[in-house]
Amino acid sequence: MIAARASEATLSLSPESFVEAIKRENALPALFAFAARHLADKPGICDALIQNKNCGAEHLLHAVRHLPASAVQVLAEELDRVSASPALAAALEQSSSLTPEQKNHLRELHGPGHPVDEAALADAAAAVEPDAERRQTLIQRIAKMTVAQRVQYAIKGGADARRTLIRDPNKVVQRSVLQSPRLTDQEVEAFAAMSSLTDEILRLIAGNRTFRKNYVVVRNLINNPKTPLDVTLHMLPLLNAQDLKRLTTNKNVPETLRTTAFKLQRTRAEQKK
């Protein structure tokens, strides 16, 4: 009786009060659990649960059916959470708000997967770990992992793991490297210059506002012949005069980019007259 009355009293509070409480960094798991089970259909509750990184997948699972399309999209891209919870990935996969590609990514996370290409893995590891013994240990460790485990390792492991897994054959694993909270500016700068990366990863780097604030990342992307042309053309005005001049003579980039760089250089010169 007392518990029932306490629950009724709690439910009588405004959704705004719960939203603010859920957003707090020190919010308790019990609050997440209660809100997910009893308040998920209230305005702002689901968004607050997703935004708080301390809210575990086990709580979000109860809120999935109440998520608006935008929230489903956001949650499906949070690879740490969906790789850690097969149940959450399966629940999201049923949503009509996801694209076929996103659903495939979720299936890949917890499906049987394909055996790791150890030759390709060895090449990737050789590029980041000069010590033969440590390199072999890294290769053996990754080779035994499932896709979901490699995603977790990319997000929570060290720099050697990220530099190796950014070249993983699986696109989901590649993308998870960019979501690691331990990723440094220097690593992103190096990734932006790597022509061995997929154009999809380079496009994701270019599309990230935080990464794009780093001028070295922008410059490296523009000078990377693997970066899609539409991306480099869009970022071209961000180059300073010196780097723009160098780009006009860079034979590794598409001619269209060099020509456009020359035109921009000429326009800037005329504006100074």
Residue 139 has pLDDT above 90, yes or no: no
pLDDT one-digit tens code per residue, 45-62: 999 999 999 999 999 998
pLDDT one-digit tens code per residue, 88-125: 999 999 999 999 999 998 998 887 766 676 777 777 77
Last residue of one domain, picked from the residues 137, 164, 183: 183
pLDDT one-digit tens code per residue, 151-200: 999 999 999 999 999 999 899 999 999 999 999 999 999 999 999 999 99
Same domain, 85 and 125: no
CA angle 77-79-84, nearest 5°? Answer: 135
Same domain, 119 and 105: no
Same domain, 179 and 189: no
Same domain, 122 and 152: yes
Best CA proximity match to 161, nearest among 141, 133, 181: 141
Output the pLDDT for position 127. 73
3-state SS, residue 81: helix
CA angle 129-130-133, nearest 5°? Answer: 85
Same domain, 74 and 102: yes
E-only strand ranges, 57-189: none
Domain range for 66 = 2-110
Last residue of one domain, picked from the residues 164, 183, 202: 183
Residue 138 has pLDDT above 90, yes or no: no
Same domain, 8 and 106: yes
Give percent of the chain above pLDDT 70: 93
Residue 5 has pLDDT above 80, yes or no: no
Give the mean pLDDT of the chain.
Answer: 90
Task: Give residue 9's pLDDT band: very low, low, confident or very high (50, 70, 90).
Answer: very low
Same domain, 219 and 198: yes
Same domain, 154 and 254: no
Same domain, 19 and 106: yes
Output the pLDDT for position 215. 98
Same domain, 175 and 83: no
pLDDT one-digit tens code per residue, 197-232: 999 999 999 999 999 999 999 999 999 999 999 999
Last residue of one domain, picked from the residues 110, 134, 163: 110
Residue 3 has pLDDT above 50, yes or no: no
pLDDT one-digit tens code per residue, 241-250: 999 999 999 9
Same domain, 200 and 263: yes
pTM: 0.85
Same domain, 68 and 131: no
Best CA proximity match to 232, nearest among 222, 242, 224, 241: 222
Domain count, the chain: 3
